[in-house]
């Protein structure tokens, strides 16, 4: 592509049953700060449009949002959050194409869970009820808690995440009530919470196929490590 800044497609949020698609500005701001140009990708289940979305972008950012339908990993949906099946269909197919063509992508929160499910993994639908005794990973009261509520993550050796961050431990923000249960095929765990919850996964045979459970976009403007994740992603998207 002829443009200087890589085009980064950003998947959008949706809340059922509201007729609404949106994305928080912090995702876009983090991409711009790291040298990319964000492009919003409306949901569709039409294969030709999904293909066009992929072809016009140098990389894809899979954003956070509502829970995947548990049917996507073979379970009955018990979450209090109604699924948005169109988003599930769109993101699973878009990510499948990313992997098929080795298009760089960064998968955040829900995005990481999409990666795990796409590769045959499963999820705990609610940490407090299925894993009692774990840390409180979510407090849905105000946006500031996307930054303020923290826990420690242990970064695994011999991972892309370790290469980018060059640290063994990391203090991350947390706002999720679901977590990886069965790790998908070919995926490796790149980080784990102090309570044992998986906080990051990646594929080693791709240019950049990285997922994290926390929200680095919320801290990229003030936190060096969070910004480093976006910078590494954008640099990978620049490579031809």
| Residues involved in catalysis | 109, 215, 217
Is 195 exposed, middle or buried, given 0-12, 13-18 or 19+ CB atoms closer than 10 A?
A: middle
Whether a cis peptide bond, with omega within 30° of 0, leads into 17 is yes
Residues 110 and 211: their CA atoms lie apart, in Å, by 9
Helix axes 85-101 and 110-118, enclosed angle (nearest 10): 70
Backbone CA torsion sign across 107, 88, 119, 198: positive
Backbone torsion region of residue 9, taken as left when φ is above 0, otherwise alpha when ψ lies between -120 and 50, otherwise beta? beta
Backbone CA torsion sign across 90, 127, 121, 236: positive
- 21 phi/psi in degrees, rounded to 5: -130, 140
Residues ≥6 apart with Cβ < 8 Å to 215 = 64, 108, 109, 146, 173, 175
The residue written with tokens 């980080």 in the block is 191
Residues 21 and 13: their CA atoms lie apart, in Å, by 5
């Amino acid at each position: 592509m002829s443009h200087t800044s890589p085009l980064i497609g950003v998947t959008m949020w949706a809340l059922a049953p509201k007729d609404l698609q949106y994305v928080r500005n912090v995702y876009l701001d983090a991409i711009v700060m790291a040298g990319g140009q964000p492009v919003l990708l409306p949901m569709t289940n039409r294969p030709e449009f999904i293909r066009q979305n992929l072809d016009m972008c140098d990389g894809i950012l899979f954003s956070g949002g509502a829970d995947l339908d548990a049917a996507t990993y073979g379970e009955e949906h018990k979450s209090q959050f109604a699924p948005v099946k169109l988003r599930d269909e769109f993101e699973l197919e878009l990510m499948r194409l990313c992997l098929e063509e080795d298009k760089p992508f960064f998968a955040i929160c829900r995005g990481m869970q999409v990666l795990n499910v796409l590769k045959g993994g499963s999820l705990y639908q609610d940490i407090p009820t299925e894993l009692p005794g774990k840390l409180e990973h979510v407090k849905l009261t105000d946006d500031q808690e996307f930054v303020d509520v923290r826990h420690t993550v242990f970064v695994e050796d011999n991972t892309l995440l370790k290469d980018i961050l060059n640290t063994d431990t990391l203090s991350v923000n947390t706002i999720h009530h679901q977590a990886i249960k069965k790790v998908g095929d070919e995926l490796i765990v790149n980080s784990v919470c102090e309570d044992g919850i998986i906080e990051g996964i990646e594929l080693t045979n791709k240019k950049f196929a990285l997922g994290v459970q926390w929200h680095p976009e919320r801290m990229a403007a003030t936190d060096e490590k969070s910004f480093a994740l976006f910078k590494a992603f954008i640099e990978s998207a620049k490579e031809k």
